[in-house]
C-alpha cells in the first residue's frame, strides 16, 4: 500500500516573459520542494473509491472532478488497466494557494500507481500524463529542484538548497490563478540569471505575479511585511500566483521564532514550518 508525500511546491522566482497564443504564458521559474505537504495513499481494491481527510478536506472538489481522480483515470487509460483503486488524500495544504497542492497530489498519485503496477519512475508515459494534467504537475512528478521554462513544464534539474529552514504562510484567501495572470501588465522584465547558485539566482530574481496578486488580495502585502521583518530571513517572497508567501531562514531556531510571531500577529493565518531541499 504505497503512501506518497505530496510536498508543497515553491517558486523561488517566477519571471513571466510573454503571453502565448495557446492561452498560457512563457515562464522562467525556479521550483523547489518542501519536506512536508499532503499525503496520498493508494491500494488495489474490488471497487474504486476516493476519500479525503485532513484540515482542508472540505476544499477538495467532488471525487469525479479533482486532479487525483483525473490522474488515476489517466494512468489506467494510458497503461490499459482494468484495476480498481482505493485512494485516500490527507489534505494539509490550502487550495488555490500558489504551492501546487493539487498538482503535487496528482503527481503523488501517479508515483503510487507506478509503484503498485511496476512502472519505472522514469517511464516517459508518466511525464506525458503529468503534462496533460497541468503545467505544474511535471515538476511535482520530478520532485526535485528544477528550472522550468515554457509553460513551466520544460524542466532542467538544478542544485537544491540543502534543507534550508523555511516558513510558509497563507492568509487563507483563495486566489484565482487565471485572475492573477490576467492582471499581469505584459511587460517582460528580463530573464532569470543564468549562473550562480540556486539561492543566488533566486535572490537576483523576482515574482512577476506578485503585483497582480496583491491587487486581487491586498493581504499578501501584510504577510510579506510580517515575514520580511523577522530575524534571520534570507529572502521572503510570494510563491506562484499566491496567496502563499514564504521566508527562507539562516537557521531553524529563527524560523521557529518567526512562526510564533506570525501566530501571535494573525492566529487565523495558515502556516507551516518546514525545510527546503
d(CA 81, CA 72): 10
Q: Is 9 a catalytic residue?
A: yes
Question: Helix/strand/coil (H, E, C) string of the chain?
Answer: CCEEEEEEEEEEEEEEEEECCCCCEEEEEEEEEEEEEEEEEEEEECCCEEEEECCCHHHCCCCCCCHHHHHHHHHHHHHCCCCEEEEEEECCCCCCCCCCHHHHHHHHHHHHHHHHCCCCCCCHHHHHHHHHHCCCHHHHHHCCCEEEEECCCEEEECCCCCCEEEEEEECCCCCCHHHHHHHCCCCCCCCCCCCCCHHHHHHHCCECCHHHHHHHCCHHHHHHHHHHCCCCEEEEEECCCCCCEEEEECCHHHHHHHHHHHHHHCCCCEEEEEEEC
CB atoms closer than 10 angstroms to residue 102: 28
Q: Residues 38, 90, 136, 153: which is the catalytic one?
A: 136
- Grid cell, residue 264, equals 501571535
* Diameter over CA atoms, the chain: 55
Question: Which of 9, 90, 91, 208 is the catalytic position?
Answer: 9
In whole angstroms, give the CA distance from residue 68 to residue 179: 24
**Which residue numbers are catalytic?**
9, 136
Amino acid at each position: 500500500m504505497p503512501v506518497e508525500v505530496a510536498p508543497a511546491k515553491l517558486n523561488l522566482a517566477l519571471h513571466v516573459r510573454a503571453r502565448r497564443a495557446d492561452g498560457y504564458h512563457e515562464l522562467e521559474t525556479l521550483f523547489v520542494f518542501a519536506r512536508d505537504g499532503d499525503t496520498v495513499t493508494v491500494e488495489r481494491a474490488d471497487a474504486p473509491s476516493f476519500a479525503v481527510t485532513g484540515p482542508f478536506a472540505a476544499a477538495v472538489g467532488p471525487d469525479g472532478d479533482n486532479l487525483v481522480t483525473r490522474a488515476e483515470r489517466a494512468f489506467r487509460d494510458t497503461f490499459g488497466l482494468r484495476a480498481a483503486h482505493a485512494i485516500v488524500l490527507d489534505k494539509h495544504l490550502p487550495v488555490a494557494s500558489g504551492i501546487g497542492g493539487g498538482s503535487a497530489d496528482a503527481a503523488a498519485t501517479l508515483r503510487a500507481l507506478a509503484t503498485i503496477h511496476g512502472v519505472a519512475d522514469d517511464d516517459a508515459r508518466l511525464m506525458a500524463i503529468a503534462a496533460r494534467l497541468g503545467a505544474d504537475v511535471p515538476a511535482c512528478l520530478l520532485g526535485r529542484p528544477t528550472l522550468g521554462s515554457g509553460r513551466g513544464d520544460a524542466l532542467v534539474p538544478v542544485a537544491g538548497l540543502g534543507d534550508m529552514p523555511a516558513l510558509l504562510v497563507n492568509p487563507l484567501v483563495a486566489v484565482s490563478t487565471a485572475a492573477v495572470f490576467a492582471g499581469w501588465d505584459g511587460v517582460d522584465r528580463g530573464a532569470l540569471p543564468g549562473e550562480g547558485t540556486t539561492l543566488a539566482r533566486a535572490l537576483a530574481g523576482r515574482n512577476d505575479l506578485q503585483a497582480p496578486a496583491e491587487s486581487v488580495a491586498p493581504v499578501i502585502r501584510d504577510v510579506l511585511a510580517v515575514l520580511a521583518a523577522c530575524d534571520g530571513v534570507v529572502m521572503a517572497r510570494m510563491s506562484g500566483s499566491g496567496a502563499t508567501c514564504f521566508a527562507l531562514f539562516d537557521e531553524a531556531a529563527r524560523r521557529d521564532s518567526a512562526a510564533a510571531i506570525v501566530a501571535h500577529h494573525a492566529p487565523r493565518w495558515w502556516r507551516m514550518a518546514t525545510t527546503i531541499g
